[in-house]
Chain A
Amino acid sequence: MTMRRLTAFLVLVLVSSGTAAMAQPAALAHPSHPPPPGERGSPNITVLSHLPLGKAGSVSDIELEQDPGRPYAYVARRVDEIGFDVIDLSDPVRARVIHRWRIENQELHQGGAMDGRYFKHDGRYYYVQSTQFRQGGPNSEVGAIVFDVTDLPESLHEVGRIRQSETRGGFHNIFVYKHSSGTPLLFATSGPHAKVFDLDRFLKGYQTEMAAVLQDENHALIGRVPVAQTANMWSRGYHDFYIGYHEESGQDRFYGGGGSGYYVYNVTNVAAPELLLTIVGVPGVSWGHTFTPSPDGRYAVGETEFQYQPLRFFDMKPALDGEVQNIDQAIGAWHADWKSLAHNHEVRWPYLFVAGYETGLSVVNMEDPATPYTVAYYDTFNGRHNNREEAMRRAGSPYTWNVYDGAWGVDVRNRDGLIVVSDMTTGFWAFRMDGFNGWHGHDYGMPNVSSVQNWDHGPTGR
């Protein structure tokens, strides 16, 4: 065990001991809002960098490369600045923007860039930027744009665009997964499915200049993961998903949020997804959003994109064991502020890193999923909460009270524990959490499975 992991283990033991001694989890209390000056974060969080990136509301999701020697983060941009920013983190306390890619004719486009994922294939690095453009402007059929970023920090260039003319409106969320077959796959929200694209096939289709013009836009589309049909469906499609390898069964598993809740499929054979379980009929959950399993695939964190909804923790064992087909209640829940809403999250068991919109970054211990509790936080947003007037001004609708502002995305670098957050209004942030200097599943008695992929060897090579 390395020194940093020893330290992390020590802190975990201390926390666990404290938990037992107090008969309930020791928890940090988020301060009431607004926090007093200088108290935006818990003492165990250190801000390394902060980069304001522009106009309020122009920032969406974030992705962080994992390999040594590639200290790059990608921040998606939407509204007025449509594209993504590449941030150099070679010195995390002096983060700097090194590239700003923007779509051509920005002013003609209606929509923006949303989710972003990188991957490595055949020795080169790529970044996939999902886009959502409405009809009435150009590129409404474009769901993602693929860039070759191998030559960063010097340069990057566009490789091609993934189009879906029959289901326009782009891809709201994407996930890139190194399948057990060895193929890098792009999963994308599109119509009533999660569509699966073979990125190797996609890249090979662009090896001639005319390929982009001549080829079938579905040439790399190799699978569709359906949404299991239930009564009174809130949505017919997916909103977000995670794909992970399940070591115990040797299956590639798809964890999707959308429809009327959450769905788990075996996608080992991508052409024939097999439904393993559903989580629908959960009171308060009419629609699933982000959905992420624990490394062993037993528990899952489910988000619902409505104000007042906590993150819910589900135990999927009864369904995975075949005792039931559907799970309809959570075993635990967590909120930073019940009047707000938490958004995206990353699981590094037992920690859950949360981009909590108006509450900023939170870190939750979910070792006991029935009683998750806050262990660290930093309020990246720090603006007025529930600002309905601002929502009206910005969005022209009181659909929300502007709870959809603040920390949108979060990512964690496994090799050293660097935490990054994209805040819709305040921009890019880099953090360290005391006692968390990296993550490897085996240090916590878990499979080494997270959103981080092993591009060179695939999931079975871990």
Chain B
Amino acid sequence: MNPFRLACAAALLFAASPSNASAQWTPESPGSDNITVLGHLALGPRLSVADMELEQEISRPFAYVARMVYGDEGPKGTDIIDVSDPTNPRVLYEWRIEDQDLHLPTGGMDVKYFKWKDRYYVVQSLQFGQGGPDRDLGAVILDVTGLPDPTTVAEVARIREPDHPGGFHNIFIYKHSNGRVLLFSTVSGPYAHVYDLGTIVEGGGDGGLIARVPVPESPEGRGRARGYHDFYVGYHDDTRQDRFYGGGVGGYFVYNITDLDNPSLLVSLTGINGVRYGHTFTPSPDGRYVIAETEYRYAPLRIFDLKPALDGKVSNIRNPISAWTADWRHLVHNHEVRWPYVFVSGYLDGLQVFSLMDPKNPVTVAYYDTYLGEPNTDRYPVFNGAFGVDVRNADGLIVVSDMSTGFWTFRMDGFGGWTGADWGVPNRSSVQEWDAGYAGR
């Protein structure tokens, strides 16, 4: 062998940077230059933080962080955090399930807030394991109207499902065009449950369950343990429909749920290569594009164009038009769409923001790695780091809940808030108009 070539090869192997797939975020430079960390609040043991929610009114600067035990220890409940000074977030109140030691993991998972008749409430979804109490408990509802005074926080209801033990893994609250505020929840069955929250907090009704959105039959079945994993519900301006976007067994499904008694399947996304079970699934404000997550390592977020199905040309979509990942070796988790931006809680890769200005070519525009540790060795390797993300439309405040490092607040340069009209799209996001409702616009 030519000694020169040998030297070149050896030098190359020594000098080359790590794999091209390696993340650009490092301990010395965890974030992009256009991201500013405002505040960070450590919340406790490793793997004890789940999802989060941020209230949208500037006069109510409160964030809610679900607490769970995915690792060895942690509380089971909700932390209420004051972000009136985003550079100095502080815990105002800790709601915990009674007799925490008796309750088997996981604990608090998803959390959402709503407003009903001028009062504000938080719904904390719960999942408790077999062998302990409250296996049938899906959610607790807290009245948080009196915040920031923590003594005013009061539990007003619990939602139980004895026939569907195992709790609610994910929830979504939607102000329906009929004026009712609805809680959508995953249950251990081949459907999503729909509850009328107004009825529940007013103490009326029979548990508040008013409808179910089914999981359609697919080659993967309908799901015996849990049909849906996650969902989003939004108003579709062109058709004036309330639409349900669910990810679960077989893939992803879009329903017209304007008539809650008769959910009508509009589009299915099944038979997608590499997708047997859908997870988080969020549409663009106009309902044309969707971002779809699949919860396994190495899976990117896939972007689909629903137009061929919505136009009636096909009934099923199976090919994404593009995909995005922060690091192909990992997995990204939840996301919030503020078109054209998608704010992602990317597990091991922390906060990530990418642009769908050209949906066929997603581009990363900002990032901050809230978790600089290694993949788990005691749990699924990539289930650590940024779990949840939310965005305040009024001023662009970004918040992240990290399973191990806690609560974070950020600003992204040039993003001072979001309204759809600024981007030429309907003003649709996960943020609800509690007072007006969608049909009132």
A binding-site residues for B, Cβ under 8 Å: 4, 7, 10-11, 14-15, 18, 22, 24-30, 42-44, 232, 283-284, 286, 304, 306-310, 333, 335, 338-339, 373-375, 398-399, 401, 434-435, 437
Q: Are A335's CB and B21's CB within 8 A?
A: yes
Q: Are B298's CB and A28's CB within 8 A?
A: no
16 cross-chain CB contacts under 8 A: A11-B9, A14-B13, A15-B10, A42-B12, A44-B5, A232-B219, A232-B276, A283-B295, A284-B274, A284-B297, A306-B274, A308-B274, A308-B300, A333-B329, A335-B21, A338-B325
Task: Give the distance to chain B from A389, nearest Cβ to Cβ, in Å.
Answer: 12
B421 contacts chain A at the CB level, 8 A cutoff: no
Given known A30-B20, A43-B9, A304-B274, contact A284–B296 (CB-CB < 8 A):
yes
Beyond A232-B220, A374-B19, A435-B6, 20 additional contacts (C-beta under 8 Å) are A10-B6, A14-B14, A18-B13, A18-B14, A27-B19, A42-B12, A43-B8, A43-B9, A44-B9, A44-B12, A283-B297, A284-B274, A286-B276, A306-B273, A307-B274, A308-B298, A309-B298, A333-B298, A338-B300, A434-B6
Q: Are A437's CB and B299's CB within 8 A?
A: no
* Complex alpha-carbon distance, A375 and B14, angstroms: 11
Given known A7-B6, A10-B6, contact A307–B20 (CB-CB < 8 A):
no
B323 contacts chain A at the CB level, 8 A cutoff: yes
- Cβ contacts under 8 Å, B295 to chain A: 283
* Complex alpha-carbon distance, A339 and B303, angstroms: 13
CB-CB nearest in chain A for B272: A306
- Tell me how many residue pairs across A and B have CB atoms closer than 8 Å: 101
Task: Give the distance to chain A from B322, nearest Cβ to Cβ, in Å.
Answer: 9
Q: Are B13's CB and A375's CB within 8 A?
A: yes
* Complex alpha-carbon distance, A22 and B19, angstroms: 13
B415 contacts chain A at the CB level, 8 A cutoff: no
Q: Are B298's CB and A26's CB within 8 A?
A: no
- Cβ contacts under 8 Å, B16 to chain A: 26-29
What 9 A-B pairs are tightest by C-beta distance, nearest first?
Answer: A283-B296, A338-B328, A306-B273, A29-B20, A44-B9, A434-B9, A27-B19, A14-B10, A18-B14
Q: Are B323's CB and A434's CB within 8 A?
A: no
Name the one of A15, A283, A373 contacting B19, with C-beta atoms under 8 angstroms. Answer: A373
B binding-site residues for A, Cβ under 8 Å: 1, 5-6, 8-10, 12-14, 16-21, 219-221, 273-274, 276, 294-300, 319, 323, 325, 328-329
- Cβ contacts under 8 Å, B274 to chain A: 284, 286, 304, 306-309
* Complex alpha-carbon distance, A44 and B13, angstroms: 9
Q: Are B1's CB and A434's CB within 8 A?
A: yes
B-side interface mostly: loop
Q: Select the residue from B1, B14, B299, B329 with max chain A CB neighbours within 10 A.
A: B1
- Cβ contacts under 8 Å, B18 to chain A: 22, 24-27
- Cβ contacts under 8 Å, A373 to chain B: 19
Task: Give the distance to chain A from B297, nearest Cβ to Cβ, in Å.
Answer: 7
- Cβ contacts under 8 Å, A4 to chain B: 1
* Complex alpha-carbon distance, A306 and B298, angstroms: 12
* Complex alpha-carbon distance, A283 and B296, angstroms: 6
Task: Give the distance to chain B from A23, nearest Cβ to Cβ, in Å.
Answer: 10
- Cβ contacts under 8 Å, B294 to chain A: 284
Task: Give the distance to chain A from B130, nearest Cβ to Cβ, in Å.
Answer: 22
Q: Are A44's CB and B8's CB within 8 A?
A: yes
- Cβ contacts under 8 Å, B325 to chain A: 338
Q: Select the residue from B10, B219, B296 with max chain A CB neighbours within 10 A.
A: B10
Name the one of B220, B297, B319 contacting A399, with C-beta atoms under 8 angstroms. Answer: B319
CB-CB nearest in chain B for A331: B381
CB-CB nearest in chain B for A374: B19
Task: Give the distance to chain A from B225, nearest Cβ to Cβ, in Å.
Answer: 14
CB-CB nearest in chain A for B17: A29
* Complex alpha-carbon distance, A421 and B127, angstroms: 53
- Cβ contacts under 8 Å, A306 to chain B: 273-274
- Cβ contacts under 8 Å, B300 to chain A: 308, 338
- Cβ contacts under 8 Å, B21 to chain A: 335, 338
Q: Are B19's CB and A43's CB within 8 A?
A: no
* Complex alpha-carbon distance, A399 and B318, angstroms: 9
* Complex alpha-carbon distance, A274 and B17, angstroms: 45
* Complex alpha-carbon distance, A307 and B12, angstroms: 30
- Cβ contacts under 8 Å, A22 to chain B: 18
Q: Are B319's CB and A7's CB within 8 A?
A: no
* Complex alpha-carbon distance, A239 and B12, angstroms: 37
Task: Give the distance to chain B from A95, nearest Cβ to Cβ, in Å.
Answer: 21
- Cβ contacts under 8 Å, A308 to chain B: 274, 298-300, 323, 328
- Cβ contacts under 8 Å, A374 to chain B: 19
* Complex alpha-carbon distance, A335 and B8, angstroms: 24
- Cβ contacts under 8 Å, A15 to chain B: 10, 13
Q: Are A335's CB and B328's CB within 8 A?
A: yes
- Cβ contacts under 8 Å, B276 to chain A: 232, 286
* Complex alpha-carbon distance, A133 and B16, angstroms: 46
Q: Are A284's CB and B298's CB within 8 A?
A: yes
Q: Select the residue from B17, B21, B220, B319 with max chain A CB neighbours within 10 A.
A: B21
Q: Are A434's CB and B298's CB within 8 A?
A: no
Task: Give the distance to chain A from B379, nearest Cβ to Cβ, in Å.
Answer: 12
Name the one of A14, A310, A398 contacting B328, with C-beta atoms under 8 angstroms. Answer: A310
- Cβ contacts under 8 Å, A434 to chain B: 1, 5-6, 8-9
Q: Are B12's CB and A339's CB within 8 A?
A: no
* Complex alpha-carbon distance, A310 and B300, angstroms: 11
Task: Give the distance to chain A from B327, nearest Cβ to Cβ, in Å.
Answer: 9
* Complex alpha-carbon distance, A401 and B323, angstroms: 12
- Cβ contacts under 8 Å, A399 to chain B: 319
CB-CB nearest in chain B for A309: B274
Name the one of B12, B328, B329 contacting A28, with C-beta atoms under 8 angstroms. Answer: B12
CB-CB nearest in chain A for B5: A434
* Complex alpha-carbon distance, A398 and B295, angstroms: 25
CB-CB nearest in chain A for B220: A232
